[in-house]
A and B are shown apart, each in its own frame.
Chain A
Amino acid sequence: MPPAKSAKITGNIHLDYTLLFIQMLNGVQLGLLLFLVASGLTLVFGILDFVNLAHGSIYMIGAFIGASLTFITGNFLLAVLIALPITGLVGFLIERLVARTLYTRNHLDHVLGTFGLILVLDTSAHLIWGPEGIAVPLPAWLDGRVELFEGVVVPTFRLLIIGTGLAVAAGLYWLVNFTKLGMLIRAGASNRTMVSALGIDISTLFALVFALGAMLAGLAGMLISPITEASISMGGEIIITAFVVIIVGGIGSMKGAFIAAIVIGLIDTLGRSFLDDMFQLFMSPQAAETSAPAVSAMLIYIIMAVILAFRPQGLFPPKVR
């Protein structure tokens, strides 16, 4: 996960509020990226009842397309704008060629089929872009830092990620709740047969939703690649966390995905930076130092287990399913 582990308070119980604020910002940023990936997953699952393990690979492919275009155009933002529809097209093709034939099958077939698709997509990326990751350069005006207020300096680009994430979340809220397409998406999620009986071209609707999900995942990949770099393994790393997000939020719920993404992003980031110090309140520094990394690595899964033990359908299960 992206947030730096290096920032660590040494020794005492006194809390550094500047660091806390910066880490919370990092947590929100991770949460918003998770939301971009998870929203596509939950959208596709909600309306198509389709489990797409290969969603993480689309995120990875989006990052690579964005990286290539950054070098071709010389402009990161322009590259993202061109890469988005291309990633959407990749999603559209995947829907037409693979996903479509799996809709009528059970979830086990979805999982295995898209598991095969991961191997195909990841190896294709390996063939096209090579085994190494690609570092993506940012334009100078995005590469700097800004001082938000006294003593709190954050990278400009992280603010851009947060801003974009919030804008997309708002856009999705508007799309799902106030547009014709959104109405069809909601209707399709509650009763697919009825929607198609009413004369809606459900097949095109499915392809559109799938492509939209792919674009969202691709956008997340493009946004993270200047920080981490575009790499083949990035898809497998985020997909499980994205699944945790939609399980905790309630599969198929956009609101649940948003809240769970932010919560998981914050818990993961803050856990990695502060658990060590929190443990020192009640155990020896040495014991804290050995146990904190282990616990913080498992933290989001423990949270998920606790939530599911009490609410097996997640926090915000969609009403009709």
Chain B
Amino acid sequence: MKRTTWATILFMLALAILPPVFMWTGNAFYVDLATRLVILAIAAVSLNLILGFGGMVSFGHAAYIGIGAYAVGIPVYYETYGGADAIASYGGAFHILVAVGVSALFALLTGAICLRTKGVYFIMITMAFGQMIYYLFISIEEYGADDGLVIDTRSELPLVSLDDPLQLYAIAYVALVIAMLMVRTIVNSRFGMVLQGARGNNERLVTLGYNTYLYRLTAYVISGAMCGFAGALLGNFTTFISPDMMGWSRSGELMFMVILGGSATMLGPVLGSAVFILMEEILSSITIYWHLPFGLMLMGVVLFARGGLMGLIKGKGDK
């Protein structure tokens, strides 16, 4: 097997084993850290599908995290305080359905417009649509506007309880593994080949008779839906949601996770999120000015470490 495959298996095993160990040795804090890591990793994996494999640089991906989180927050809010009976619910299945459904719909509507543009227009228009959702939630007083919304009750699921940190982690971890396997299946399928072909040379694929626009739009919708699911998990994890979680700098952070780990690789986005979360945690415990070294690190990675961390793991022999 290739070194990258080994690295993927080892890292995912570590993610499966370490948090329970932390829990049983009384370090619950690290379980929280790992949960956040794994949830953001799902979002990064979803972004990697379009950014890494599809070559679509979406700068508005945090919007889906927000949509997913509010898809939990709003039904819970109505169920707790009354009103809007049609969507009031504590049910986890309903939350996930709304999170994934609305995210997919938003991705379909905005993607249809965004994908008509290319290059830097695409980057900026995806960012602008992300900001649109951000300002939408900032202006809705009902859901707390920029003060955010407290989720009083976590989503109710059969068999498991999300109030238990370890069970929440387990759900997030399984979701991450499924997301990675989904992306792998997609990428290795005929659909994925067209998608990657269009990244390299769109004209060639068009000449061969492929409607690359539809392929890209489909990938864009899948990615958005997946990220919306991560948002629903994040809402359940933080139990407090605010428009801040979908601002454009959050989208930038997601992009950074993908690039830091290595785009268009399986483990890259997960590794990137892990390093990102750990750096954030360590630096912010040292100084309140942690954004300064963090920003310098980001610039350093962009300028000097091409191919990300996976590029380092890959070594010379592998292709």
Contact between chains at A116 and B132 (CB < 8 Å): no
By a CB distance below 8 angstroms, the chain A residues around B117 are 308, 312-313
A145 interface hit (Cβ, 8 Å): no
Residues of B within 8 A of A118 (CB): 249, 295
Whether B294 and A119, one on each chain, are in contact in the complex, defined by CB atoms closer than 8 angstroms, is: yes
A126 partner residues in chain B, CB cutoff 8 A: 289
Query: Contact between A113 and B299 (Cβ–Cβ < 8 Å)?
Result: yes
Q: Is the CB of A301 within 8 A of B121?
A: no
Tell yes or no: A122 within 8 A of B by CB: yes
In the complex, the answer to whether A119 meets B303 with C-beta atoms within 8 Å is no
With A51-B123, A301-B129 already in contact, the answer to whether A124 and B292 are too (CB < 8 A) is yes
A246 to B121, CA, bound (A): 10
Which A119-151 residues sit within 8 Å CB-CB of chain B? Answer: 119-120, 122-124, 126-127
Across the interface, do B132 and A298 meet the contact criterion of CB distance under 8 Å?
Answer: yes
Inter-chain CA distance A115–B62, complex, in Å, is: 15
Number of A residues near B (Cβ < 8 Å) is 46
The segment from A159-167, A186-194, A236-244 that touches chain B is A236-244
Whether B211 sits at the interface, judged by CB under 8 Å, is no
Tell me if B128 and A112 are in contact (CB < 8 A).
no
Is the C-beta of A15 less than 8 angstroms from some C-beta in chain B? no
- Kindly identify, within residues 80 to 129 of chain A, every residue whose CB is under 8 Å from any CB belonging to chain B: 98, 101-102, 105, 107-109, 111-113, 115-120, 122-124, 126-127
Chain B proximity mask over A238-266: 1 for CB below 8 Å, otherwise 0: 00100110110001000000000000000
Q: B291 touching A293 by the CB < 8 A rule? A: no
Complex-state Cα separation, A102 to B132, whole angstroms: 29
Interface status of B212 (Cβ within 8 A of chain A): no
Is there an interface contact between B248 and A305, defined as CB atoms closer than 8 Å?
no
Interface residues of B in 292-312 (CB under 8 A from A): 292, 294-299, 301-303
**Inter-chain contact B298/A111, CB cutoff 8 Å:** no
Say whether A279 faces chain B, with CB atoms less than 8 Å apart: no
Considering residues A112, A297, A309, A314, which has the most beta carbons from chain B within 10 angstroms of its beta carbon? A112
Partner of A116, one of B110, B118, B248, B296: B296
B240 interface residue per 8 A CB criterion: no
Chain B residues closer than 8 Å to A119, beta-carbon distance: 291-292, 294-295, 298
Using Cβ atoms and an 8 Å threshold, which residues of chain B touch A244? 124, 128
- CA–CA, A313 and B125, complex, Å: 11
Q: Which residues of A contact B124 (CB under 8 A)?
A: 51, 243-244, 246-247, 251
**B128 partner residues in chain A, CB cutoff 8 A:** 240, 243-244, 247, 301, 304
Please name the residue on chain B nearest to A305 by beta carbon.
Answer: B113
B256 contacts chain A at the CB level, 8 A cutoff: yes
Chain B interface extent, by class:
35 or more
CB-CB under 8 A from A240, the residues of chain B are 127-128, 131, 248
Contacts of A117 in B (CB 8 A): 295, 299
CB of A274, distance to nearest CB on chain B (Å): 16
Closest Cβ neighbor of B255 among chain A residues: A112
A288–B302 Cα distance when bound, in Å, is: 47
Contacts of B297 in A (CB 8 A): 116
Closest to B299 in A: A116
Could you give 30 example pairs across A and B, Cβ below 8 Å? Answer: A51-B124, A98-B299, A107-B119, A107-B123, A108-B51, A108-B255, A112-B252, A112-B255, A112-B301, A113-B298, A115-B252, A119-B294, A123-B289, A123-B292, A240-B128, A240-B131, A243-B127, A246-B124, A247-B121, A247-B125, A251-B120, A293-B141, A294-B136, A297-B135, A297-B138, A298-B135, A301-B135, A302-B132, A309-B113, A312-B117
Interface residues in chain A, defined as those with a beta carbon under 8 Å from any beta carbon in chain B? 45, 51, 53, 98, 101-102, 105, 107-109, 111-113, 115-120, 122-124, 126-127, 236, 240, 243-244, 246-247, 251, 290, 293-294, 296-298, 301-302, 304-305, 308-309, 312-314
**With A126-B289, A298-B135 given, can you name 6 additional A-B contacts, CB distance below 8 Å?**
A111-B59, A113-B302, A119-B295, A123-B292, A304-B128, A313-B117
